Amino acid sequence: MIEVKQPKRIPFIGMLQGMLTVFKHGLQKPVTVQYPEEKENLPDRFKYRIFLSMDDCVGCTLCEQVCPNLTISMQTVERENPRNKRKLYPDVNFGTCTVCRNCEEICPTDAIYLTHVFETARTRNSFTYNPEELEKHEEEVKR
């Protein structure tokens, strides 16, 4: 246990020191990143947009079960895949996705995974990605 004490200060001089500190910061370089023109380097593990490898998906619905807020729902897609007999693939509504990464964690075949892509803003009203769109790059989906 230590007792905290009010630090010593000289009346009025302390305020001038504070003003000087504030003024000195004005001479430093601003830390703002001007987003659309310059982009900060994203950390290696930064994750946002869910991708799906449809060839790997076995339609086990584990991602649907673990998803905490009904972001993922399974959808039937007519597609030849011997490992996915039920033809069930995840369909993701990014409007409710909280990026909890549980789907990536639980996927037994690593078919569903999160990537660096985060610029998913669009004019389209719905944020739902069907399984085919989940496989594509963001630019293709937007088009």
Helix locations, 10-117, DSSP H: 13-25, 62-66, 102-106
Q: In 3D, which of 48, 75, 54 has the Cα closest to residue 64?
A: 75
Sign of CA dihedral 100, 110, 139, 116: positive
Nearest CB to other proteins, comparing residues 32 and 126: 32
Site for other proteins in 99-118 (CB under 8 A): 99-102, 105-106, 108, 114
Residue 70 interacting with other proteins (CB under 8 A): no
Nearest CB to other proteins, comparing residues 15 and 119: 15
Indicate the residue type of 94.
Answer: F
* 133 membership: H or E segment, kind and range: helix 131-135
Residue 35 interacting with other proteins (CB under 8 A): no
Rounded-to-integer distance, Cα 74 and Cα 91, Å:
6
Interface residue with other proteins, options 34, 123, 125, 126 (CB under 8 A): 34
Residue 78 interacting with other proteins (CB under 8 A): no
Residue 19 interacting with other proteins (CB under 8 A): yes
Task: DSSP letter for 141, please.
Answer: H
Please report how close the Cβ of residue 107 comes to other proteins at its closest, in angstroms: 8
Rounded-to-integer distance, Cα 104 and Cα 80, Å:
23
Footprint of other proteins (CB under 8 A):
1-7, 9, 11-12, 14-15, 17-19, 21-23, 25-26, 28, 30-32, 34, 42-47, 62, 65-68, 98-102, 105-106, 108, 114
